[in-house]
Chain A
Amino acid sequence: MISSARLRRLSCALLLALCGLCGALFSQPAVAQDISSPLAQLATDSYADTEAALGALALSGSPAAAGIVSALADGKLVFSAVPRQVFLRTEAGLVDPLTLQPVADPPAVKPVRVNNRVRRAIEAANGTLSLVSPDPARRLEAATAVARSRDTAALPALDLALSKEADPKVKTALTLARASIVMGQPGVSDAERIAAIGLVGAEGNQDALAILQGVPAESSPAVKQAAADAIAGIERSLAMWSMAQNVWYGLSLGSVLLLAAIGLAITFGVMGVINMAHGEMVMLGAYTTFVVQDAIRTYNPGLFDWSLIIAIPLAFLFTGLIGVIIERTVIRFLYGRALETLLATWGISLILQQAIRTIFGPTNREVGAPSWMSGSFDIGQLAITSGRLWIIVFAILVFVALLATLRMTRIGLEMRAVTQNRRMAASMGIRTNWVDAMTFGLGSGIAGIAGVALSQIDNVSPNLGQSYIIDSFLVVVFGGVGNLWGTLVGAMSLGIANKLLEPYAGAVLGKIALLVIVILFIQKRPRGLFALKGRSIEA
């Protein structure tokens, strides 16, 4: 229970914070600093005065300052001796540097002279001005540049920018930059240095690491120790984040494997049919997506964002139908002869590949991503792309839907019945032939759906399916045949293991290592992670 007094205090604090935010937001356009004295200095046309004026302009916070400095750099800042005044030379003639209004009665002018010292001052002023530029990206860039340069002279500019900054990202960068300068600034107490190190260390990212590694060698032992501790802390946290990132990639790869393998878990795991054409079902699903998008581009481009949603049921029906045809014409004659099925379905896979090659050509076809699948966001230091996120979500949806189909529907019940005892099921009036066809169709249809998703991350070519077939089989066998949960765990653990191995071994060696591990695992536990046990298992 929060007391009303505390509530009031809280709301006051919130209100204040809000005011502060608004103030920060509106400060730039609202306050126009007086820059008349630097303008007067520029009009004297002495190098020393120009240099001083540049410093003052940069820190003035005036919106006109940037224009004046760049005009000076371009030789378009001019002055008249009588009256002592500066103007900007534009195509429209001379204009007032503050108001940018044309000068009614232009006097005789000469450009403000520039030498190397002034040029350096211009650069410095530009850097400072960037820190308060209206463009946040530019401010961020400038802050990072300052942090690298550790230029003590930039300190006042940083303080100015910090006082105005509203964007949290830029503010962090500015704070870092300030701390990095303080760390190396002469005449600063160790306590201040260590406080600055703490501030940088708390940031915990790659930039902070770079800053800390730049602690001057001549610093006191306490400062160096603090820096070393902070570096170790950052490295730990970076390692954790990179691990987390790899796990995320692994989950993403795992869901791709799950999508590719889950249809196989039905045809191989439940029916015992070795379907080497499974990969081609995935490929057909991907091509269905291509055809749908092609039609949408031609007839109704506005629907493009819906193309995948439209493609999913179509891919399911189309590949499911192909699956049923394959089952009825070939596989049903080969039940109980697993190795023969393997050969026949391999033949079918060749035929399907060649058919697609004949129709669509051998090259990759372009399948676009709808707008809601592009883009990315960060969680901490995790970069999460929407595409990957959607594929994970989609894989889980497909998994749940399949599980529900098998558990809760009539056809699911019949499928399980036929798998467990074909003759008994038949004698109870289940049309086993029909169930076989439907089961195979379901497995193929799910492969087709997987193809829709995989069309987003892989090249849509006739060879698409080939690249998944071996992985899919390994996932199903690794997880334990006949067990959908095993397939889920198998896919995810293989995906994550692959991505965790990659940083150490490289992509190809990591893959090879994983293949070897799975081969060894299957030899240790020939029936996978979740094996059924019993007397009849070897019968």
Chain B
Amino acid sequence: MSDIETLEPAAAEGAARKTLTEALLYLDGVTVTFDGFRALNALSFTIDPGEMRAIIGPNGAGKTTMMDVITGKTRPDKGDVFFDGGTTDLTKLDETQIVTLGIGRKFQKPTVFESHTVLDNLRLALKGQRRALPNIFRRETAAARERIDEIFETIKLTEHRGRLGGALSHGQKQWLEIGMLLAQDPRLLLVDEPVAGMTDAETAQTAELLREINANGHSVVVVEHDMTFVRDLGVRVLCLHEGSVLAEGTLDQVSANERVIEVYLGR
């Protein structure tokens, strides 16, 4: 166990690190091990309220595991995960409770409800009653309809609202999923590789969409490999490697970092 301390790459961070009470999301020393493999190794970083952050890193750097930890899908072996200025310990809550707190997540593989219409997908995601029994007799309100129309405008799927989720193209599914996140009205969106498999035009649109969402007051964490897309976002970048932070800063700073070039970007 003692090798964690020696391996901790403290050099790159520090300056950007906020205190517990200022941060929306606060990770400190988070370690996750799967059968001897250390997926996260004393990972620490923070996200400010209203901030958008891009997370990059090679495969196996622990990006998805990090999201699993934040959303309660995986429990860390050690370390702290706090939300909302340190008021809430996420490691004590399950997925549903964390979602209810206002953390939404888009998966790497787009997952929409394939046998529901696009409209029903949004209806299901819309912030509102989540308990089982009241939902048997639930009726849709006018406000809900309006909100859904708004989201359709944002994700530009209005004309597809009657189609089945499964019938959408890959890019449309990604947008629908982002729209479903929006419908949940979370304070923090975790978005895992939103532009994988998209055309250039779609990628640019997605960047714009995320910026718009961020501008409306939602904090966003985007995990992405696509450097053009990350540049389009124009936000601070965090580079992960072997389960801990390798470098942090603007994209230019990070891509100039020797270690980042060595393990990730290549020369």
Contacts and interface: CB of A to CB of B under 8 A. Distances in A.
Direct chain A–B contact by Cβ atoms under 8 Å: yes
Interface of A: 532-535, 538
Contacts of A535: 34, 39, 64-65, 68, 74
Interface residues on B, range: under 10
A532 B68 CA distance: 17
B196 to A, nearest CB: 15
A528 to B, nearest CB: 15
B146 interface: no
A318 B74 CA distance: 47
Interface string B13-37: 0000000000000000000001100
Chain B CB within 10 Å, residue with most, of A532, A534, A535: A535
B217 to A, nearest CB: 32
Nearest to A539: B109
Contacts of B39: 535
Contacts, number: 12
Interface in B40-79: 64-65, 68, 73-74
A219 B178 CA distance: 92
Nearest to A532: B35
Nearest to A538: B73
Nearest to B64: A535
Interface of B: 34-35, 39, 64-65, 68, 73-74
Contacts of B64: 535
Nearest to A535: B65
Contacts of B35: 532-534
Question: Which 4 pairs from chain A and chain B are nearest by CB?
Answer: A534-B34, A533-B34, A533-B35, A535-B65
Nearest to B108: A539
Given A535-B39, A535-B64, A535-B74, 8 more contacts: A532-B35, A533-B34, A533-B35, A534-B34, A534-B35, A535-B34, A535-B65, A535-B68
Contacts of A534: 34-35
A538 B73 CA distance: 10
Contacts of B74: 535
Contacts of B65: 535
A532 B36 CA distance: 12
Contacts of A533: 34-35
Nearest to B62: A535
Contacts of B34: 533-535
A533 B35 CA distance: 7
Nearest to B74: A535
A350 to B, nearest CB: 32
A533 B64 CA distance: 15
A533 B34 CA distance: 6
A531 to B, nearest CB: 10
A496 B176 CA distance: 54
Nearest to B34: A534
12 contacts: A532-B35, A533-B34, A533-B35, A534-B34, A534-B35, A535-B34, A535-B39, A535-B64, A535-B65, A535-B68, A535-B74, A538-B73
Contacts of A538: 73
A533 B65 CA distance: 13
Nearest to B68: A535
A532 B64 CA distance: 19
Chain A CB within 10 Å, residue with most, of B34, B64, B65, B73: B34
A82 B53 CA distance: 132
Nearest to B35: A533
A180 to B, nearest CB: 63
A535 B68 CA distance: 9
A534 B74 CA distance: 9
A420 to B, nearest CB: 15
B68 to A, nearest CB: 7
Contacts of B73: 538
